[in-house]
């Protein structure tokens, strides 16, 4: 996993790396025999941009869709802090690893292992690593979003979706993921909304208007979620939404 993250990071943020690699440290010998040490700007740029790795990887995987759906689901049930944010992030992370495992395997087989065994150069490895990631994002992105960002970037016409540069594909993919996540979240929200409406109507008919419907409906929503094996249903739906198991 770490090797894959580093390779994608270099692919995104250091596109001009030479096949011979980066000289990390330059040693200059002075006339009096002393030596000066200096770090190249490329290495400084890499070290500075390390903090962008999580954001870049999250935006290129299934993580965004999963975390948004789980957050909407928690809101629909009416539990503000349960499961906690840490639990939701952990669930999203490991489900993303599960969903992206075939893509990781392709990147490893096509780019990382050949590069480590010195069968291909660094630039060739980067190009090989792009293909599985682009294929995954293209399989999930909406054509409308792709065309929108292509026009904004000045690409009036592309030969094929596969020819879409990453600078256009990534924001289009994120936009599509948010759209899909809200659609799935809406479908999960409807049953709990119906429970809220029924409970509110019953309380009003009984004249118990001072009692909050949320307090009464919460245990019923939790019971409904447990009876239908909700977590398995949610996780299975999210996985199948990416084409797994079909």
d(CA 107, CA 113): 9
DSSP label at residue 27 = E
pLDDT band at 33 (very low <50, low <70, confident <90, very high): low
Q: Give the CA-trace dihedral at 203, 208, 213, 219, to 10 degrees.
A: -80
Find tokens 């409807």 and name the residue: 190
pLDDT of 182 reads 92
pLDDT of 164-204, one tens digit each? 787 888 888 899 999 999 999 899 888 888 888 888 888 78
Count structural domains, the chain: 1
Percent of the chain scored above 90 by pLDDT? Answer: 6
Q: Is 22 exposed, middle or buried (0-12, 13-18, 19+ CB in 10 A)?
A: middle
Q: Which domain holds residue 73?
A: 1-242
pTM: 0.74
Q: Is the dihedral of CA 41, 44, 48, 49 positive or negative?
A: positive
* Residues near 156 by beta carbon (within 8 Å), at least 6 away in sequence: 150
CA distance 19 to 114: 14
For residues 64 and 80, which has the higher predicted lDDT (pLDDT)? Answer: 64
- Phi and psi, residue 153, nearest 5°: -80, -5
Sole residue written with tokens 């690699």: 21
Q: pLDDT digit string (tens) for 75-115?
A: 888 887 788 888 888 888 888 888 888 888 888 888 778 77
């Amino acid at each position: 996993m770490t090797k894959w993250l580093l390779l994608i990071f270099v692919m995104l943020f250091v596109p001009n790396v030479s096949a011979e690699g980066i000289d990390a440290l330059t040693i200059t010998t002075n006339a009096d025999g002393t030596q000066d040490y200096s770090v190249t700007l490329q290495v400084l740029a890499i070290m500075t941009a390390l903090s962008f790795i999580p954001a870049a990887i999250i935006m290129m995987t299934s993580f965004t869709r999963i975390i948004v759906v789980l957050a909407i689901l928690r809101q629909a049930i009416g539990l503000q802090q349960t499961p906690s944010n840490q639990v939701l992030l952990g669930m999203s992370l490991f489900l993303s690893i599960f969903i992206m495992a075939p893509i990781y395997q392709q990147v490893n087989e096509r780019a990382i292992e050949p590069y480590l065994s010195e069968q291909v150069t660094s630039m060739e490895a980067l190009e090989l690593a792009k293909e599985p990631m682009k294929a995954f994002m293209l399989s999930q992105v909406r054509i409308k979003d792709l065309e929108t960002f292509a026009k904004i970037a000045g690409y009036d016409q592309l030969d094929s979706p596969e020819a879409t540069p990453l600078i256009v594909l990534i924001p289009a993919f994120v936009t599509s993921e948010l759209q899909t996540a809200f659609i799935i979240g809406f479908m999960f929200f409807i049953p709990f909304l119906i429970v809220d409406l029924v409970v509110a109507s019953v309380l009003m008919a009984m004249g118990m208007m001072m009692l909050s419907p949320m307090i009464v409906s919460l245990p019923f929503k939790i019971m409904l979620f447990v009876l239908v094996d909700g977590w398995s249903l949610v996780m299975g739906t999210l996985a199948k939404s990416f084409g797994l198991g079909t």
